[in-house]
Structure 1
Amino acid sequence: MKKSALLIAAALLLTACTPLSILNAVSPAGETRATKDQPYAPGERHQLDIYRPASGANNAPVIVFFYGGNWVSGSRTDYAFVGQALAARGFVVVIPDYRLYPQVRYPDFLVDAAQAVAWTRREIARHGGDPGRIYLMGHSAGAYNAAMLALDARWLGQQGLETSAVRGLIGLAGPYDFLPVQNPTTRPVFNYPDTPADSQPASHVSASSPPALLIAARSDKVVDPARNTGALAAKLRAADVPVQELYYDGVSHTSLVASLSTSLRRLAPTLDAVEAFVRSSGGAKGPGGPSGRTVDRAR
C-alpha cells in the first residue's frame, strides 16, 4: 500500500471522526458523472446527489446509499467517494441527505429516507437507472435506515410503495438490534427510555424480506457485529431469506466504509462484495441468482 494510503488508514483506525474530505480529494472522479442538489421533497435537508458511469447508463442497477453519523451528523457531500466507487462499477448511485437530531427524532428520518427512495423509483430512469432494480445500502446509522425501509413495510408504504420495490439490502456495520439504547448520544434520538420495540430492524424480518448482504468489521468497537450483523443474518436465514454475511479483519467500524475508496481498497474487498451481490440479483433464489446463504468469516 502506498504511504498516503497508509496515513489515511491510520487516521481512520485511530479516530472516531473520518477524514472524509481526504478520501474525496484522492478519489478520482474521471470515470463517473454527478448530478447534484436534486430536491426529493421540500426542505433544506431533502436533497440528493446522483452518480453514474461517465460512459453513460441504460437501465443500470440503482443503489441508494444512506450515510452514518449516529443520526446527529453527516452530509451527502462527504460521501462522494462512495458514489464514485459504485458508479465506476456500472451502477447508478443516489446519496440523499436526511434530517438529523435535534431537528428531528425517530422516526422522522425514516420518513425522509422513504421519500428519497420514492423519488428514486419515480425519477431514476431519466438518469439511466432501472427503477425495478433498486438496492438500499448504508453504513452504520445509514445501514439502520436502509434496513428499516427494506424490512418494515410502514415507511415505504407511506409513499405508496411495497418493500418488494427493494431488490436487496446492503448493510455495512449496521445497528439492527440495540435495545435498550446504551449510547448516550443515541438515547434522545430514539426517545429513551420510551424507545418503541418496533424501532428495531431485526423485529421486522419475514419470509418476504429482500435478500441481504451484511458486512461488518470483526473487531468493531462501536456496533457489536455479533449482536447486530450476526443476529440479523440469523433471523433472515431462519425465514429462508437469502443472506450473505461477511466479517473483515484489518478494518474498523469507520474504515469499513472507507475501504470503498480507491486509496483504501486494499483494506477489505468491500466494493467487490457489493458488486457481486448486485450482479447476482441480490443473491435471490431461483433463476435470478444463487441462494446467497453464505457466511464468510475469513479475510
Structure 2
Amino acid sequence: MKSLRLVLRAFKVLPLVLLGGCSALQVVNSVSKIYTVDVKENIAFGEDPKLKYDLYLPDTASEEFDATPVIVFFYGGSWNRGDKSEYEFVGRRLASMGYIAAIPNYRLYPEVKYPAFLEDGALSIAHLKKELAKPEYKNRKPAQQFIMMGHSAGAYNAAMLALDPRWLESSGLTHQTSIQGFIGLAGAYNIYPINDVEVRPVFDHPNYPPKSQPIDYTAKASVPSLILTPETDTLVSIERNSEALHTALKSAGNQTILQTIEGTDHVTIVGTLSPLLFFKGSTSKPIEKFVRTLHKPATDRTATASER
C-alpha cells in the first residue's frame, strides 16, 4: 500500500522518457492525455481544504447505455499519503471507456484515523449525486447508482462503502439505491493483525476497532463485485485479502468475480490503466466486461425486443 510514486519505479520505460526535467509522475499523466475527455477539477465537497474531487466525463455522451455508468475511484497509499491529482490517468482511462469517473481526496493519517476517511468517502458520494443532478449533466444521462472502485488502501475504502450501509446512510443516502457494484484492485480487505508499521496507528493497533474490515460484511452484502489481483503481491497478501473476500462473498450467495491480471504486481496492476504499461495484462477489459453486466447495453435490449 505505497504511494503511486512506486508505480513509476516499476515502469521499465521511464529512463527513456525522463527528459527536460519532467517528473515521472508528470509523464504518466501527460501520456494519459491521449484520452480526450472533459475534466472538472477541484469540486469541493467538505469544509476541509483537502476534500475535493476531480470529475472526468466522456468526450461525448455514450449511446451504448440508457444511463452512463458512474465510477468513484479511491486511490491507495496506506491511508497516509496520496492525492487525486496523481491519478489523472485513471480518470481519463475510465472516461475514455464511456464512464463518468470521480476521484475524490480523503483525509489521511496523522490528521485522522479510521473511520474518518470512510466518512469523507461517503460525503464525496453524497455531493457527487447532487452535482450530477444539475441540468448541465442531463445530456450525459448519469446513472443514479454508482460503482465503487479502488486500489490497495483505496480498495478498502471502496469495499467498505459498497458493503457496509452505515457510511452512506450517515451522509443521508439510501445505500441500496446508491451503490451498484464494487471493483477492487489489489485490495486490503482483511488486514488484522496489521504487520505494516505505517498502517498500525491508522487502526489503533493493537486495539483494533470491531467490524472495521470489508470481510466482516460479506454475509449481508448484495453488491456485485469484481476483485482483481496482481500475479504477485509482496505488499498485500492475495490469499488473505482478495481470495478470502471472494470466497466469503461467494459463500454468502453474492455475485463475485475473482480475476488475476497477468504480468502485474501490487503497483503495476493500477498502472495498467496508463498507456505506458500497454505490455502488461489488461485491467480495463475485465472492468469493461463487469460494467456491461451491470449496465445492459441498449443494443442488447433492442435485440431482445425484436425477437419477441
After TM superposition, the structure 1 = structure 2 runs for residues 163-202 of structure 1, keeping only pairs within 5 Å, are: 163-164=175-176, 165-202=178-215
Q: Does 1:143 align with 2:148?
A: no
Call closer, same or farther: CA 1:198–1:34 in 2, change over 3 Å.
same
Structure 2 distance, partners of 1:162, 1:52, is 25
Post-superposition CA distance 1:189-240 (Å, at most 9, x none): 1111111131111001134430000001121110001110000000110111
Aligned length: 275
C-alpha RMSD of matched pairs (Å): 2.3
Structure 1, 161-170 or 63-72: larger mean CA deviation: 161-170
3-state DSSP of counterpart to 2:70: strand
Moved more, 238-247 or 207-216: 207-216
Confirm whether residue 50 of structure 1 aligns to residue 55 of structure 2: yes
Deviation at 1:162, TM superposition (A): 3.1
- 2:28–2:276 contact (8 Å) kept in structure 1: yes
- 1:161 aligned residue: 173
The separation in 1 between residues aligned to 2:108 and 2:62, in whole angstroms, is 32
Deviates more, 1:54-63 or 1:80-89: 54-63
Contact persistence 2:221–2:249 (CA under 8 A)? no
Q: 1:228 to 1:282 in 2, by over 3 A?
A: farther
Q: Which amino acid aligns with 1:84?
A: R
Q: SS at 2:227's partner residue?
A: strand
Larger Cα-atom Rg: 2
Counterpart pick for 1:230 among 202, 225, 243: 243
| TM-score scaled by length of structure 2 | 0.84
TM-score by length of 1: 0.86
Q: Is the 8 A contact 1:40 1:47 kept in 2?
A: yes
- Say if 1:42 and 1:54 are closer, same or farther in 2 by CA, change over 3 A: same
Equivalent in the alignment of 1:35: 40
Query: What's the offset of the Cα at 1:31?
Result: 2.1
| Aligned counterpart, 1:292 | none
Which of 60, 70, 76 is the matching residue for 1:68?
76
Amino acid at match of 2:236: V
> Which residue of 257, 273, 284 maps to 2:270?
257
C-alpha contact (below 8 Å) 2:10/2:268 kept by paired residues: no
The aligned residue for residue 96 of structure 1 is: 104
* Structure 1 residues 7 and 204, CA gap change in structure 2 (3 angstroms): closer
Residue number in structure 2 paired with 1:152: 164
Task: Answer yes or no: is the 8 Å Cα contact 1:212–1:242 preserved in 2.
Answer: yes
Which secondary structure state, in structure 1, belongs to the residue aligned with residue 57 of structure 2? Answer: strand
For 1:97 and 1:21, the matched residues in 2 are separated by 19
Mapped to 2, the partners of 1:47 and 1:81 lie a distance apart of 17
| Letter matched to residue 113 of structure 2 | R
Structure 1 counterpart of 2:169, which letter? G
Alpha-carbon distance change, 55 to 225 in structure 1, aligned in 2, over 3 angstroms: same
CA distance in 1, matches of 2:24, 2:290: 28
Deviation at 1:93, TM superposition (A): 0.3
Shift of 1:163: 2.7
1:297 corresponds to: none
Q: Provide the rounded CA distance (Å) in 2 between the counterparts of 1:275 and 1:20.
A: 26
| CA distance in structure 2 between the aligned counterparts of 1:72 and 1:220, rounded to whole angstroms | 20
Matched, 1:209 2:229: no
Query: Out of 95, 120, 128, which is 2:128 matched to?
Result: 120
Match of 2:142 in 1: 130
For 1:162 and 1:174, the matched residues in 2 are separated by 25
Structure 1: how far apart are the matches of 2:41 and 2:172? Answer: 26
Gaps of at least 5 residues in structure 1 are 1-5, 13-17, 289-299
Aligned residues with identical type, % of pairs:
38
Alignment partner of 1:276 is 2:292: no
